[in-house]
């Protein structure tokens, strides 16, 4: 089992554990009431939008040793979400995983993600979260002839999951650090793309 798949149950556990955290917090009679906030996502509240960037890593075949390769890229994410439960919500966004250089050509991946998000507060300003969902991705692969790798375009759905932490330095603004794994279909087979990002989040 690869390290990334070992982290999948961790992400799922964080999402599920948020329910037990909520049970504890609602039992506190001294907890102040929190006003509902708007959300772009239907049937949710406490909405947010965010932007993140960082580093990606494509788990792809790099071919013959004589060909230079760099399977890392510079990703960008734009997303929005909201909560249908104090600790459970949904998130929808667009991600561009950046460009990897391998086999004398380029490999690119981008797509749209839909995830279930579970959050667990660690105080008034900090929380951790896990997410599990799916990414509809589109990819393009080019390579030098003779490497034995099929080139072209592919698209399809794949599993996604991730873990992260959030620090709200004002009531509306927060800094977010996150690790994610997205499964994409490439012309030479399905593979994972891992994203490590930092960004800003604005809550309505």
pLDDT at 6 over 80: no
pLDDT at residue 15, as a whole number: 45
What integer pLDDT is reported at residue 14 of this predicted model? 45
pLDDT digit string, tens, across residues 23-62:
344 343 333 334 456 899 999 999 999 999 999 999 987 6
Provide the domain count of the chain.
1
- Interatomic CA distance for residues 186 and 107, integer angstroms: 9
In a domain, 33, yes or no: no
pLDDT of amino acid 9: 52
What token pair was written down for 96? 């561009």
Q: What's residue 71's pLDDT?
A: 83
> Is 128 domain-assigned?
yes
In a domain, 12, yes or no: yes
34 part of a folded domain: no
Q: What is the CATH classification number for the domain harbouring 168?
A: 2.40.160.20
Residue-number span of the structural domain to which 125 is assigned = 3-27+40-203
Domain contains 78: yes
User: What distance in Å separates the CA atoms of residue 165 and residue 119, rounded to the nearest whole number?
Assistant: 9
Instruction: Tell me the two tokens of residue 140.
Output: 């393009």
In a domain, 35, yes or no: no
Name the average pLDDT for the chain. 83
The bridge status of strand 126-141 relative to strand 152-168 is antiparallel
Helix (H, G, I), strand (E, B) or coil at 41: coil
pTM for the full predicted model? 0.79
Report if residue 158 sits inside a domain: yes
Nearest to 162 by CA among 101, 77, 98: 77
pLDDT in tens, 147-193: 667 789 999 999 999 999 999 999 999 999 999 999 999 988 899 99
Is it the case that residue 21 has pLDDT exceeding 80?
A: no
pLDDT at 194 (0 to 100): 96
């Amino acid at each position: 089992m690869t390290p990334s798949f070992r982290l999948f149950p961790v992400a799922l556990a964080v999402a599920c554990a948020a329910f037990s955290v909520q049970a504890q917090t609602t039992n506190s009679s001294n907890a102040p009431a929190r006003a509902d906030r708007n959300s772009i996502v239907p049937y949710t509240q406490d909405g947010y939008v965010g932007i993140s960037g960082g580093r990606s890593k494509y788990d792809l075949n790099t071919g013959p040793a004589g060909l230079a390769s760099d399977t890392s890229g510079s990703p960008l994410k734009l997303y929005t979400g909201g909560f249908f439960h104090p600790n459970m919500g949904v998130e929808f966004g667009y991600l561009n995983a950046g460009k990897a250089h391998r086999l004398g050509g380029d490999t690119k991946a981008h797509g749209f993600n839909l995830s279930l998000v579970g959050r667990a507060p660690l105080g008034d300003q900090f929380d951790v979260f896990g997410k599990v969902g799916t990414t509809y991705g589109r990819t393009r692969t080019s390579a030098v002839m003779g490497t034995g790798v099929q080139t072209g375009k592919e698209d399809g759905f794949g599993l996604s999951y991730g873990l992260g932490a959030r620090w709200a330095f004002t009531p509306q603004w927060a800094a977010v650090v996150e690790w994610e794994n997205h499964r994409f279909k490439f012309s030479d087979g399905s593979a994972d793309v891992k994203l490590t990002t930092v960004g800003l989040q604005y809550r309505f």
